[in-house]
Each structure stands twice: as structure tokens, then as C-alpha cells.
């Protein structure tokens, strides 16, 4: 009696089995756009000017003497559309015919291009934290707005939140909607600081030992009035920039680049950043008969700039954990 056994069907086995779905990479949350004052009255051109006025001056007056007339200082803020970006992809006719995942791949072109542009925008916004004088504490009203983390080796410490709060107060920034955007290494450090895990001495931190200090990208606690969010897009500071100190004590960095953590008020009247879209992300598609392929491209034009330096405190910390 003739028959087949499993051992004789080796050629009928699939050496590799491929799934029917494409695996997508994980995406993190983007924080920066909500803190930009987006200009709408920008009909043409690529440069926008905003005038500003200073304070009036008060003088002592002597009876029967001439009044003193003082000019009010004025200034001008100039903002320019600087970025013209594009993201493009194509798939050939042959690939459409031969590749099993071709339709899934092509359907992802536009969402992936849009995400790439938004990540670039997020990076540009977070870089604005570096928009300051290098090798300088950037004092405003006598208080540093750029400082090194006061923890061991330049790590974050709770007192850095208090320093940032003081800097904003002396800068006359409203104490509303205070926000800190920090690197994930800061979250790690806050999770492991010993005086925070001693909840009997600090009831505000109760529950952190069990749950960790963050839920998703947001801290579960408020630190000195700051709502704290973590971001993977915090700008990096180089070695030379890290030699800046708001005092002459230790904790200077040697060879490790640091992360620029941002502290500011997100009140709508004093948003720290200003921006404008000259062209929102716009998708173009065409079939290229010469190259026999389907082409997708997304383009955008925008500009972002630090608008209120008094509403931006930077604490540079080492990312080493």
C-alpha cells in the first residue's frame, strides 16, 4: 500500500512564513506645538515684524518747576519663515505587481510623511531652548535663566524647580499654567531621589514609590507649581555650553553632553514661542509615466522663534543614569 508520511513531505513545507500585516514602529507624544503662539495675520511675504513698548518713567517733581518728559523705549521683534521642508516616497509599477504588501506600503506614505514633518517641527521648537547667549547664565532682572542641574554630577534636583520658579517670578511671568518639559533621564532621577521616596517627610509625593513619578509622558505630581512632561526631543547642549554656571561651585560637566530641560508658563497670554505656517503640510501625488512609478510628496513652510526670553528657563542636566 502506497502512502506519504510527514518525513517525505519536506519540499511541501514553507521554510518561512510571513505575516499578513506590517509592523509599525512605536510613536511618542509630541509636546511643543501647543506652546507656540501661531500667527494668523500673515498674508504674504516671509518676514513679520512686531513692535513693542517699554515702561514709562516716574520722576520726582518740584513745585513750580518744569515737568520732565521722558521718551518711552520701543523695540521691534522680527520673525521670519525659515523652513521649507519636503518628504517624498514612491513605489514602482513593478513593485505594485510583485510585492505582497504593496497596497499597505503605499497607504502609509502620507501618514509617515506627515509624522516626519511634525517630528521635525517638534525638534525645531525644542531647539529654541538653546536660543540664548552661549557661555552665559542669561540673567534677566539679575536672575539666571540658564543653569546646570544642581544634583550630583549635574543631574536634576528638586531645588532646580525652585530656581526655575524664582527666575520666572523675577521675570514678571504670570504664575499660571507652569510647565516643565524634561528629558526621560530626569524622570529616572526623580524616581530614584531618596528624599522623594520618603513619603512620611513629604506627603505631596505619596504614591510615587509604588507607581513611579510619571504616567505616560506626564508626571503624576506637580513640582513647585510645574506640571511636568517628558519628551524625547529635548535639545542637546555641547561640552562648551555646559561650562556655563549660575554660580562658581562644582558639578561642571566634562565630556558628557547634556539635555536642555525647559521651564516656562504656558498661559496663552505669554506663550514663550511664536510661529507661523506659510504653507500647512500639503500632499501632491502623480503617476510618473517616464519612471513608471507612483510618487507622493508632502511639503510645508513654517518658522518658529523664541518670543519671550523672560518666560524660558533652561536647566541643563546630564542624561547619564
pLDDT digits (tens, 9 = 90+) for 153-179: 788 888 999 999 999 999 999 998 899
* Contacts of residue 131, Cβ cutoff 8 Å, sequence gap at least 6: 305, 306, 309
Query: What is the average pLDDT score of the chain?
Result: 79
CA distance 130 to 275: 16
pLDDT tens per residue across span 261-280: 999 999 988 999 999 999 98
Cα dihedral 238/113/42/305 (nearest 10): -10
Phi, then psi, of 218 in degrees rounded to 5: -125, 135
pLDDT tens per residue across span 70-101: 887 767 788 899 999 999 999 999 999 998 88
Reported confidence tier of residue 14, pLDDT bands at 50, 70, 90: low
pLDDT at 163: 94
pLDDT at 57: 78
Four-residue CA torsion sign, 258, 260, 263, 266: negative
Return the C-alpha cell found at 179. 510647565
Task: Report the candidate in 273, 264, 271 with the shortest Cα–Cα distance to residue 312.
Answer: 264
**What secondary structure letter does DSSP report for 140?**
B
pLDDT tens per residue across span 44-60: 888 888 777 667 778 88
Alpha-carbon distances, residue 30 vs 34, 117, 138, 184 (angstroms): 9, 12, 27, 14
Q: Above 60 in pLDDT, residue 69?
A: yes
Report whether 283 contacts 55 (CB < 8 A).
no
Amino acid at each position: 500500500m502506497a502512502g506519504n508520511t510527514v518525513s517525505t513531505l519536506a519540499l511541501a513545507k514553507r521554510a518561512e512564513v510571513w505575516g499578513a500585516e506590517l509592523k509599525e514602529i512605536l510613536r511618542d507624544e509630541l509636546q511643543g506645538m501647543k506652546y507656540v503662539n501661531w500667527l494668523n495675520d500673515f498674508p504674504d511675504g516671509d518676514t513679520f515684524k512686531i513692535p513693542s513698548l517699554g515702561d514709562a518713567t516716574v520722576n520726582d517733581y518740584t513745585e513750580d518747576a518744569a515737568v520732565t518728559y521722558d521718551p518711552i523705549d520701543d523695540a521691534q521683534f522680527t520673525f521670519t519663515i525659515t523652513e521649507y521642508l519636503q518628504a517624498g516616497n514612491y513605489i514602482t509599477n513593478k513593485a505594485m505587481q510583485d510585492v505582497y504588501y504593496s497596497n499597505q506600503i503605499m497607504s502609509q506614505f502620507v501618514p509617515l510623511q506627515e509624522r516626519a514633518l511634525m517630528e521635525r517641527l517638534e525638534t525645531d521648537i525644542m531647539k529654541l531652548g538653546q536660543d540664548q547667549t552661549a557661555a552665559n547664565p542669561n540673567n534677566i532682572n539679575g536672575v539666571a535663566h540658564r543653569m546646570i542641574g544642581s544634583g550630583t554630577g549635574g543631574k536634576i534636583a528638586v531645588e532646580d524647580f525652585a530656581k526655575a520658579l524664582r527666575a520666572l517670578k523675577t521675570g514678571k511671568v504670570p504664575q499660571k499654567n507652569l510647565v516643565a518639559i524634561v528629558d526621560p533621564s530626569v524622570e529616572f532621577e526623580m524616581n530614584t531621589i531618596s528624599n522623594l521616596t520618603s513619603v512620611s517627610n513629604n506627603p505631596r509625593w505619596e504614591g510615587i514609590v509604588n507607581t513611579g513619578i510619571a504616567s505616560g509622558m506626564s508626571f503624576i505630581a506637580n513640582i513647585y507649581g510645574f506640571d511636568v512632561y517628558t519628551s524625547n526631543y529635548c535639545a542637546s547642549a555641547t561640552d562648551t555650553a555646559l561650562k556655563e554656571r549660575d554660580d562658581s561651585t562644582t558639578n561642571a560637566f566634562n565630556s558628557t553632553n547634556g539635555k536642555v530641560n525647559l521651564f516656562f508658563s504656558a498661559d496663552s497670554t505669554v506663550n514663550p514661542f511664536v510661529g507661523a505656517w506659510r504653507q500647512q503640510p500639503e500632499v501632491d501625488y502623480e503617476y510618473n509615466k517616464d519612471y513608471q512609478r507612483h510618487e507622493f510628496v508632502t511639503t510645508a513652510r513654517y518658522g518658529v522663534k523664541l518670543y519671550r526670553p523672560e518666560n524660558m528657563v533652561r536647566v541643563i542636566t546630564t542624561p547619564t543614569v
